[in-house]
Structure 1
Amino acid sequence: MKTDFLQYQAQTSPHPLMVDVSHAKGSYIYDTDGKSYLDFVAGVSACTLGHCHPKVVKAVQEQTEKYMHVMVYGEYIQSPAVQLSKLLAEHMPAPLDCTYLVNSGTEAIEGSLKLAKRATGRSQLISAVNAYHGNTQGSMSVMGAEHRKQAFRPLLPDVDFIRFNNEEDLQKITHRTAGVLLETIQGSAGFLPPQNDYLAKVKKRCEEVGALLILDEIQPGFGRTGTLFGFEQYNVVPDIVAMGKGMGGGMPVGAFSASKKYMHLLSDGPKMGHITTFGGHPVIAAASLATLKEVLESDLMQQAVEKEALFKKLLQHPKITDVRGRGLMLAMMVESEDLANHIILKCMEKGLILFWLMFEPKAVRITPPLTISKEEIAIGCKLILESIEEWKA
């Protein structure tokens, strides 16, 4: 299987980890040799309720027995998509009352950028240095890392960048700006939260010049930071919210939400201003609805805050310089890139899954399922500390 994997399936890096997955359940992934791996990554923040959560599995099974794909997005009334959109509207602040369901986070970004241009009639887009919003052409255009884009240019024109948490750069937002796109918490840059009411100040500047604020909640969203969406903790309401990853409980999904006033613009002038074949797919929407209900009806968001504190208490070592982030969106910072690589690979040998961050080589990603137990956290942290002790620089 590993030979066929390398031969026939396109790769994203020269050295994939190549765990040959047999099955996954709860906080664990199992390989075909019977080895178990405690999962501190959750499919890169995607498996909000762990692996094969019974409520998600049940929702998927029940929907597949009713109908699957029947029509392109937006033409037929399909109950799971309608219920999901309504429940989101009920739990987001005004005026965010309308949701467009798509297939992934990067498509949510693409739709958000188009909506900002359509609503304002402007062309300039502003993002942040070291931002990551996906890898399709539009999303890559607003990625704040030139070394990852150069091989694929030309990309979208009229894109500028500001430094996250730098208030001086807000003057770059002008009457030419259609939209300012920021991650609520910068992910690939090292899980950097906004400081000093930064996001509210960005929104104020956007209002002054008539630009729209788009917040990327693809990682922080759906309870990961202790609230349904991360922006709820930072005194700001964006004009557009992009979401994905943990929204589907392990199924592929994305969405962007805005006011009905703005979202209507994608349906006329021109018609089908944004269109997708499989967006709002009934099986995916059913899984997403089950995930959202569980996050809202359980105490998982409160637990995320408690578990954050536990991680920060347990991950104490002279070679750990910081544990950044909010809730269960954490980055353990260490002294060097080599040490970070050692920890990730050594822990995999020990049966603990960790991962890297794209633009911060000294970071170790810790984004477990929200359902992870405190006992499992303690087990994993012990393995991390053991791996650090085994490090020989």
Structure 2
Amino acid sequence: MITHRELFLKNVAQTSDFPLALEFERAEGIYMYDKTGKGYIDLISGIGVSNVGHRHPKVVEAIHNQVDKYLHLMVYGEYVQSPQVLLAEALCKTLVHSAGAKPVLDNVYFTNSGTEAVEGAMKLAKRFTGRQEIISCFNAYHGATQGALSMSGSENFKRNFRPLLPETKQINHGNFEDIQKITERTAAIFIEVIGGESGVRVPDKEYFIELRKQCDLTGTLLIIDEIQTGFGRTGTFWAFEQYGFYPDVLLCAKGMGGGMPIGAFIANQNVMGVFKNNPILGHITTFGGHPVSCAVSLATLNVILEENLLNNVKAKAQLFRQLLVHEKIKEVRNQGLMMAVEFEDFDTLKSIIDRAILNGVITDWFLFCDNSMRIAPPLVITEEEIRLACETILEAI
């Protein structure tokens, strides 16, 4: 009989010639289990998704409760659906305390993914400002669809898919001089608070203050991509809270869904209102804001707040830093539990990653920083589990 692995290689589209092809049967907390029952510590949270762990009981309960009521009705139409409404309200409440004098972000457009949130926000920026130029950062990743790919900071990922969108250009993340490249021609700048796929690059706190000033001066929308950093990853619910500024549009996904597919872009009603006319239905989606995904996202948000998961992020990150000391480790960079452990080169790192997987710890590297190990565990990871994971990584080194 043909095995699942053989079917996987035959019928499921591959994006590399060397997939891990690990076959898991269940997952819970920080662990994933294969067919033999062997447990693997998931130190990457499914690439920043499982912030509250795999199959958190309240997430599973939310799925069951919503499935018993209804599934897809019609997402963007005339129906008031409580999962959407309650999640939108809860998201906006997380943003009120940071608003200061800026307009509150109080209007949520739900999507299926982070990439779709990026695409919607690109359209929003062009429509609201009447401008075409979009700026992003070198070595940034905002998604793989053609609009999002146009903003990618790596020509290696773009060259064989050209032509892409015109009027897109890049600046250097954290570089004060490059801020001046934002002008009255610029519709928006899309930027991560912490450079993610560039290998966890943490900017000077003054950088975003100056960036905010330049956007205000030129009438440019400051669009913050918190697809990786949102929902507690860096120790505050949103990473931008630590930098003393407020965005015009906020993007989120990944950890937002507790394991279910969902994303969103959030703005104020004045900005979002441009989708209502010229043309009507300026941005639409069939499944964005699916009721099950929204119910799970709300449960995830509540778990983070009610279980005080933010309180221990800094201490857990510090424990990782204390334990991951070795002559082959060149540097450890982090903001909360978003971490990069740098080695000499990719070959060195890849052999360590492979060895760690054999011993039951899953890590990864970064798209634009392939000599650094990605560590972004579920926020529920315990001190004992951190020690076990680090012991395994050190043994692999």
TM bucket normalised to smaller: over 0.9
Given the alignment of the two structures, is residue 54 of structure 1 paired with residue 63 of structure 2, yes or no? no
Q: Distance in 2 between matches of 1:269 and 1:246?
A: 34
Which secondary structure does the structure 1 equivalent of 2:358 belong to?
helix
Greater shift after overlay, 121-130 or 164-173? 164-173
Given the alignment of the two structures, is residue 224 of structure 1 paired with residue 227 of structure 2, yes or no? no
Q: Distance in 2 between matches of 1:98 and 1:194?
A: 28
Q: Distance in 1 between matches of 2:321 and 2:47?
A: 20
- CA positional deviation for 1:155: 0.7
Given the alignment of the two structures, is residue 137 of structure 1 paired with residue 146 of structure 2, yes or no? yes
Given the alignment of the two structures, is residue 353 of structure 1 paired with residue 356 of structure 2, yes or no? no
Q: Distance in 1 between matches of 2:174 and 2:51?
A: 28
1:104-143 equivalence runs, <5 A: 104-143=113-152
Aligned to 1:204: 213
Q: Distance in 2 between matches of 1:286 and 1:183?
A: 27
Aligned to 1:2: 5
- CA positional deviation for 1:110: 0.6
Aligned to 1:179: 188
CA contact (8 A) 2:227 2:253 kept: yes
Which secondary structure does the structure 2 equivalent of 1:362 belong to?
strand
- CA positional deviation for 1:172: 1.0
Which secondary structure does the structure 2 equivalent of 1:48 belong to?
coil
Question: Which of 247, 250, 266 is the matching residue for 2:256?
Answer: 247
Q: Distance in 2 between matches of 1:49 and 1:282?
A: 20
Q: Distance in 1 between matches of 2:46 and 2:293?
A: 17
Aligned to 2:296: 287
Q: Distance in 1 between matches of 2:108 and 2:334?
A: 27
Q: Structure 2 counterpart of 1:55, which letter? A: K
- CA positional deviation for 1:269: 2.0
Question: Which of 278, 302, 307 is the matching residue for 2:316?
Answer: 307
Which secondary structure does the structure 1 equivalent of 2:33 belong to?
strand
Distance 1:74 1:294, change over 3 A: farther
Q: Structure 2 counterpart of 1:147, which letter? A: N
Q: In angstroms, what is the RMSD of aligned CA positions?
A: 0.9
Given the alignment of the two structures, is residue 26 of structure 1 paired with residue 35 of structure 2, yes or no? no
Given the alignment of the two structures, is residue 12 of structure 1 paired with residue 15 of structure 2, yes or no? yes
Query: Unmatched 5+ residue regions in structure 2?
Result: none
Q: Distance in 2 between matches of 1:296 and 1:108?
A: 24
Q: Distance in 2 between matches of 1:105 and 1:244?
A: 5
1:74-85 equivalence runs, <5 A: 74-85=77-88
Q: Distance in 1 between matches of 2:334 and 2:266?
A: 24
- CA positional deviation for 1:202: 1.0
Question: Which of 95, 112, 125 is the matching residue for 1:103?
Answer: 112
Which secondary structure does the structure 2 equivalent of 1:222 belong to?
coil
Q: Deviations over 1:143-179 (max 9, x none)?
A: 0101100111111100011011111111211110000
TM-score norm. by structure 2 comes to 0.96
- CA positional deviation for 1:33: 2.4
- CA positional deviation for 1:313: 0.7
Which secondary structure does the structure 2 equivalent of 1:372 belong to?
coil
- CA positional deviation for 1:188: 0.6
Aligned to 1:149: 158
Aligned to 2:373: 364
- What fraction of aligned residue pairs are identical, expressed as a percent? 49
Which secondary structure does the structure 2 equivalent of 1:149 belong to?
helix
Q: Distance in 1 between matches of 2:393 and 2:270?
A: 49
Question: Which of 318, 330, 334 is the matching residue for 2:339?
Answer: 330
Which secondary structure does the structure 2 equivalent of 1:356 belong to?
strand
- CA positional deviation for 1:139: 0.5
Q: Deviations over 1:65-93 (max 9, x none)?
A: 00000013243110011000001111103
Q: Deviations over 1:17-41 (max 9, x none)?
A: 1111110011100011222101101
Q: Deviations over 1:200-251 (max 9, x none)?
A: 2111111111100001000000001000010100111110001000000011
Given the alignment of the two structures, is residue 63 of structure 1 paired with residue 75 of structure 2, yes or no? no
Q: How many residues align?
A: 388
CA contact (8 A) 2:106 2:266 kept: yes
Q: Distance in 1 between matches of 2:339 and 2:110?
A: 27
Q: Distance in 2 between matches of 1:367 and 1:249?
A: 15
- CA positional deviation for 1:350: 0.3
Which secondary structure does the structure 2 equivalent of 1:201 belong to?
helix
Given the alignment of the two structures, is residue 233 of structure 1 paired with residue 233 of structure 2, yes or no? no
Q: Distance in 1 between matches of 2:255 and 2:72?
A: 22
Which portions of structure 1, spanning 4 or more consecutive aligned residues, are displaced by more than 3 angstroms? none
Distance 1:74 1:312, change over 3 A: farther
Q: Distance in 1 between matches of 2:199 and 2:94?
A: 28
Aligned to 1:391: none
Given the alignment of the two structures, is residue 89 of structure 1 paired with residue 98 of structure 2, yes or no? no
Question: Which of 202, 219, 226 is the matching residue for 1:193?
Answer: 202
